[in-house]
């Protein structure tokens, strides 16, 4: 461990993140409509151990205690998401006031505790009624999203100053529509590509509406980004690396920053049959809408991607290999890639401001006999990633805040409760919350704005 002292710039914002379906529970309470995640989790065989988010962390009822917990840790900001079907149970039309009131109380509670709310509008729990009309594969869902964004920002826009339209459009498009692992569980690549466009379009359309309702607000979008490296300097590995970067990163970054969908990827998707009707889903004006000015880019970073062409006969031996150091998700621990990612975003795309809206790791370390949770590996993971973020700031990257995923252990999608990302332990039997060592260390980091 280096003894170098790391101090972040004044005003750097320290927070944690969660999402509605992963923590709220209360899936059928106070007029909430069914979401695609309710439906998916209730379908046998979709989630590990048959887990569901029906109760999850019962945050819907325990939010005052969760705010107290955050206050205790000295957190300055909290990123959470709104469950669309609590607000518009059928996706559009009839507003459910009880749903708005829940988030209004939560926002007021956070502000009273001096914790800045960062609201994500879409973290994957689409109203099932909209899925029944085609979901994100249908352009009309992008229109419904604007209506939803309007209702929420009109109601909370006086108090919420930080808005994130979408969480991880790549996951929405591909994990949910091509790989079948997330709701609604489709396996069709062409649909996934169409979906990616409708999600981006809904972002572009919603931003001006949010600005109108919340004139002081900062508005952005969160992407999951993964720096791509080639396993060897061979041409074959570089091709794979370029494809991965296009698929994962550039397909989303390029249109958001006014560069259209990347031509090499359009050609590649066309060759693979993923664009049976070309880019017919892109209509006049769509790309201008998607390139709307945003105040910040949110980055969810977990790991890098090492790209290897396993079949090229004349490939070179790899010079970059995955380390043995992986989390319980199997994701490689490699903090320097966070510096590379932040630098690349700053120098290639120039977002006015960046936030790390998620970073964290899954380790299941639990309480010992004395109730202490020595999650040493998480503490080290966070310290190493904070160090890289600091280095990027020193290099001129306008990074303004950091949200650790997650405030507490929660429902990790298809993995159910088997993966624990929290800095706070949750006993799902008793709903007890117990700060892990990483949380206590984080509290200290926040108090000193460094370590």
The residues annotated with a catalytic role in the active site are: 168, 358
- Residue (214 or 419) nearer to ligand FCB, CB: 419
- Residue (136 or 413) nearer to ligand FCB, CB: 413
Q: What are phi and psi of 308, to 5 degrees?
A: -135, 130
- Residue (182 or 383) nearer to ligand FCB, CB: 182
Question: What pairs with residue 118 in β-bridges?
Answer: 79, 162
Binding mask 210-239 vs ligand FCB (x if CB under 6 A, - otherwise)?
--------------x---------------
Work out whether 19 is an interface residue with ligand FCB (CB under 6 A): yes
When binding is defined by CB under 6 A, the residue of 413, 417, 442, 451 that contacts ligand FCB is: 413
Work out whether 409 is an interface residue with ligand FCB (CB under 6 A): no
Give counts: helices (H), strands (E), the chain.
17, 12
Contact 36, 183 (CB under 8 A): yes
Give the other-Cβ count within 10 Å of 180's Cβ: 15
Least distance (Å) between residue 383 CB and ligand FCB = 19
Torsion-angle region of residue 288: left (phi > 0), alpha (psi -120 to 50) or beta?
alpha
Stretch that binds ligand FCB, among 96-104, 166-174, 204-212, 234-242 (CB under 6 A): 166-174
Gap between the Cα atoms of 99 and 133, Å rounded: 23
Q: Is the peptide bond before 137 cis (omega within 30 degrees of 0)?
A: no
Binding mask 239-278 vs ligand FCB (x if CB under 6 A, - otherwise)?
----------------------------------------
- Residue (205 or 301) nearer to ligand FCB, CB: 301
Work out whether 300 is an interface residue with ligand FCB (CB under 6 A): yes
Gap between the Cα atoms of 406 and 423, Å rounded: 6
Work out whether 167 is an interface residue with ligand FCB (CB under 6 A): yes
- Residue (66 or 237) nearer to ligand FCB, CB: 66
When binding is defined by CB under 6 A, the residue of 118, 274, 421, 441 that contacts ligand FCB is: 421
Place of tokens 């390029």: 254
Least distance (Å) between residue 355 CB and ligand FCB = 14
Q: What are phi and psi of 127, to 5 degrees?
A: -55, 130
Rounded-to-10 torsion of CA 52, 55, 58, 61: 140
Work out whether 57 is an interface residue with ligand FCB (CB under 6 A): no
Stretch that binds ligand FCB, among 59-67, 109-117, 163-171, 275-283 (CB under 6 A): 163-171
Gap between the Cα atoms of 191 and 135, Å rounded: 11
Least distance (Å) between residue 169 CB and ligand FCB = 11
Gap between the Cα atoms of 174 and 192, Å rounded: 5
When binding is defined by CB under 6 A, the residue of 58, 168, 237, 400 that contacts ligand FCB is: 168
Give the other-Cβ count within 10 Å of 241's Cβ: 21
- Residue (281 or 334) nearer to ligand FCB, CB: 334
- Residue (22 or 153) nearer to ligand FCB, CB: 22
Contact 351, 252 (CB under 8 A): no
Q: How many residues bind ligand FCB (CB under 6 A)?
A: 12
Least distance (Å) between residue 360 CB and ligand FCB = 7
CA-based angle 73:378:10, to the nearest 5?
A: 50
| Cα 225 to Cα 45, 93, 179, 331, 401, distances in angstroms | 29, 34, 18, 14, 17
Cα 297–chain centre separation: 12
Stretch that binds ligand FCB, among 84-92, 140-148, 167-175, 235-243 (CB under 6 A): 167-175
Q: What are phi and psi of 380, to 5 degrees?
A: -65, -40
Per CB under 6 A, residues contacting ligand FCB are 19, 22, 167-168, 171, 224, 300, 358, 405, 412-413, 421
């Amino acid at each position: 461990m280096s003894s170098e002292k790391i101090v972040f710039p004044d005003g750097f914002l320290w927070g944690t993140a969660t999402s509605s379906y992963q923590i709220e529970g209360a899936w059928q309470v106070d007029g909430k409509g069914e979401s695609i995640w309710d439906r998916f989790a209730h379908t046998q065989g979709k989630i590990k151990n048959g887990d569901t988010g029906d109760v999850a962390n019962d945050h819907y009822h325990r939010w005052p205690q969760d705010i107290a917990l955050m206050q205790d840790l000295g957190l300055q900001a909290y990123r959470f998401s709104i469950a669309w079907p609590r607000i518009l149970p059928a996706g559009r039309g009839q507003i459910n006031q009880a749903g708005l009131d829940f988030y209004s109380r939560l926002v007021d509670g956070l502000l009273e505790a001096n914790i800045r709310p960062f609201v994500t509008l879409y973290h994957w729990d689409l109203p099932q009624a909209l899925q029944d009309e085609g979901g994100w594969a249908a352009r009309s869902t992008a229109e419904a999203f604007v209506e939803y964004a309007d209702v929420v920002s009109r109601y909370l826009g006086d108090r919420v100053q930080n808005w994130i339209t979408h969480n991880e459009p790549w996951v929405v498009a591909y994990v949910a529509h091509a790989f079948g692992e997330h709701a609604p569980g489709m396996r069709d690549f062409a649909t996934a590509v169409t979906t990616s466009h409708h999600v981006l379009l809904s972002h572009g359309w919603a931003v001006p509406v949010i600005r109108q309702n919340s004139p002081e607000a900062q508005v952005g979008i969160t992407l999951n980004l993964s720096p791509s490296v080639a396993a060897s300097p061979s041409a074959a590995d570089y091709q794979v690396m370029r494809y991965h970067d296009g698929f994962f990163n550039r397909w989303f970054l390029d249109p958001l920053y006014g560069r259209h969908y990347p031509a090499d990827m359009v050609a590649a998707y066309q060759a693979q049959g993923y664009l049976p009707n070309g880019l017919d889903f892109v209509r006049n004006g769509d790309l201008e809408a998607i390139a709307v000015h945003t105040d910040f880019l949110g980055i969810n970073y977990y790991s890098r991607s090492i790209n290897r062409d396993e079949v090229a006969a004349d490939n070179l031996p790899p010079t970059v290999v995955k380390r043995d150091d992986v989390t319980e998700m199997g994701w490689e621990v490699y903090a320097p890639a966070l510096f590379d990612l932040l630098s690349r975003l700053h120098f290639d795309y120039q977002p006015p401001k960046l936030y790390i809206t998620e970073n964290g790791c899954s380790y299941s370390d639990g309480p010992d006999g004395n109730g202490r949770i020595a999650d040493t590996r998480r503490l080290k993971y966070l310290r190493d990633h904070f160090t890289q973020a600091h280095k990027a700031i020193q290099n001129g990257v306008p990074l303004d805040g950091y949200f650790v995923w997650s405030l507490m252990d929660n429902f990790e999608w298809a993995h159910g409760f088997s993966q624990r990302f929290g800095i706070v332990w949750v006993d799902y039997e008793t709903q007890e919350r117990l700060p892990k060592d990483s949380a206590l260390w984080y509290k200290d980091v926040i108090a000193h704005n460094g370590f």
